[in-house]
Amino acid sequence: MRLRKLGSSGLFVSELCFGAMTFGGSDGLWGQVGKLGQDDADTLIGAALDAGVNLFDTANIYAHGRSEEILGRSLKNLGVARDDVVVATKVASSMGDGPNRGGASRLHILSECRASLRRLGLDHIDLYQIHAFDPATPMEETLEALDTLVRAGDVRYIGLSNWAAWQIMKAIGITRARNLAPITSLQAYYTLVGRDVEREIVPLLASEQVGLMVWSPLAGGYLTGKYADGGHPEGARQTELDFPPIDRVRGEPLIRVLKDVACKHDRSSAQVAIAWLLKQPVVSTVIIGAKRVEQLRENVQATEVQLDPDDMARLDSASHLP
Ligand code: NDP
């Protein structure tokens, strides 16, 4: 597994990050995303570490805090040295009833950071991300609260997630003008069936040297090809939950080309879809999700796939350009 710099920071992260969104769900939305318990999590985290992954992503909202608890417990169960891993989590989603239990206000960020540290069982978070833009809070308040956390030693780096280009650029301007902790990374959805970020976000991140952390790189499993020709594999996420949403009619030709390219390299469609993302210069890391260790082992081998210019051209012309 190769390492890349996260944006312009000095932080080295593995080119694949393990996403813990499948940990701890019981019912409802989080149950549909994944119901993995501690033993499964230990197995997956152990396999990710063995493959060279050093970056682990979760969020306070994933299974209402259970994902953070399970991830933190796994790192302890596996005896991982704290400085050998980079732990990323997020804040801003609503964690309960009441107007101040969500959002990106100073009050919520400072209290939820403490709660995340407690759930993770850590004394600092390496990358703390604002999960979504909060139109109700002045950006200055959010960025100053994050700066407070960095100066207090609770957080090492700050990142954003799912912000529009103008919001990111405004935030960068504020951190520079006020000498606040810089924005290191952005999490965004980016796949061969979802290339909207190429319009504004990718050029912005390249220009400002902010690292892109790609989420849902397989479009929730769709790019594995297992839903081709109207397939609905039982128990698989995209059968139950259309997330991220996919235009399946436009996706079918791409799925065929993915399969062709995969056959040429004696690889799987999932590996080619991830390898295509790894060829994009602005990408610092691709956050892979897996429910089973076999899926994880397959996905990490995407780092060995060498796509040539002909493969890239075929995938580009079959995919959904913005
Ligand atoms: P993917 O698009 O890679 O989907 C993962 C799912 O696809 C798995 O749970 C599994 O589901 C299926 N799958 C994975 N690998 C294979 C395989 N080799 N063969 C067959 N099926 C496979 O990623 P996620 O949507 O899970 O997102 C990854 C991470 O990104 C999350 O854990 C989270 O950390 C982050 N994220 C961040 C968001 C944000 O707003 N910032 C939003 C969403 C995710 P199944 O077996 O059910 O088919």
- C-beta of 214 in contact with ligand 1 (< 6 A): no
Class of domain 3-318: alpha beta
What is this model's ipTM?
A: 0.99
**What pTM value is reported for the model?**
0.97
How far is the first Cα of the chain from the last one, in angstroms, to the nearest whole number? 30
- C-beta of 285 in contact with ligand 1 (< 6 A): no
Size (the chain), residues: 322
CA gap 95, 62 in Å, rounded: 10
For the record, the structure tokens of 318 come out as 């079959």
pLDDT at 322: 63
- Asked if residue 166 lies in contact with residue 204, where contact means CB atoms within 8 angstroms, the answer is no
Q: Is 123 exposed, middle or buried (0-12, 13-18, 19+ CB in 10 A)?
A: exposed
Bridge partners of 36?
23
Q: Which of 40, 291, 292, 300 has most ligand 1 atoms within 8 Å of CB, for mutation? A: 291
Classify 61 as helix, strand or coil. coil
**255-284 pLDDT tens trace:** 999 999 999 999 999 999 999 999 999 999
Residue 269: alpha-carbon gap to chain centroid: 20
pLDDT at 240: 86
Q: Is 32 exposed, middle or buried (0-12, 13-18, 19+ CB in 10 A)?
A: middle
Q: Report CA(161)–ligand 1 centroid distance (Å).
A: 16
Q: What percent of the chain has pLDDT over 70?
A: 99
Return all residues near 219 (Cβ < 8 A) that are at least 6 apart. 191, 193, 194, 238, 244, 246
Q: Report CA(36)–ligand 1 centroid distance (Å).
A: 13
pLDDT at 230: 84
CA gap 68, 93 in Å, rounded: 14
**30-48 pLDDT tens trace:** 999 999 999 999 999 999 9
**200-254 pLDDT tens trace:** 999 999 999 999 999 999 999 999 999 998 888 998 999 988 899 998 888 999 9
For 103-129, the three-class secondary structure string (H helix, E strand, C coil) is CCCHHHHHHHHHHHHHHHCCCCEEEEE
- Asked if residue 184 lies in contact with residue 11, where contact means CB atoms within 8 angstroms, the answer is yes
CA gap 322, 301 in Å, rounded: 28
Q: Which of 40, 295, 298 has most ligand 1 atoms within 8 Å of CB, for mutation? A: 295
- Asked if residue 272 lies in contact with residue 24, where contact means CB atoms within 8 angstroms, the answer is no
Identify the band that residue 24 occupies on the pLDDT scale cut at 50, 70 and 90. very high
Return all residues near 46 (Cβ < 8 A) that are at least 6 apart. 74, 78
Task: Work out whether the CA dihedral 99, 105, 107, 111 comes out positive or negative.
Answer: positive
- Alpha carbon nearest to ligand 1 atom 24, residue: 216
Tell me the mean pLDDT in the region 68-80.
Answer: 98
Rg (C-alpha) for the chain, rounded Å, is: 19
- The ligand 1 atom at the shortest distance from the C-alpha of residue 244 is 25
- Asked if residue 302 lies in contact with residue 17, where contact means CB atoms within 8 angstroms, the answer is no
Q: Report CA(289)–ligand 1 centroid distance (Å).
A: 4
Active-site positions read: 62
For the record, the structure tokens of 289 come out as 């999700």
**102-132 pLDDT tens trace:** 999 999 999 999 999 999 999 999 999 999 9
Q: Report CA(217)–ligand 1 centroid distance (Å).
A: 7
For the record, the structure tokens of 273 come out as 């879809």
Classify 47 as helix, strand or coil. helix
CA gap 226, 228 in Å, rounded: 6
Residue 312 scores a pLDDT above 90? yes
Tell me the mean pLDDT in the region 156-163.
Answer: 98
Q: Out of 69-83, 132-146, 173-187, 239-253, which region has the weakest mean confidence (pLDDT)?
A: 239-253
For the record, the structure tokens of 192 come out as 């061969």
- C-beta of 216 in contact with ligand 1 (< 6 A): yes
Tell me the mean pLDDT in the region 284-303.
Answer: 98
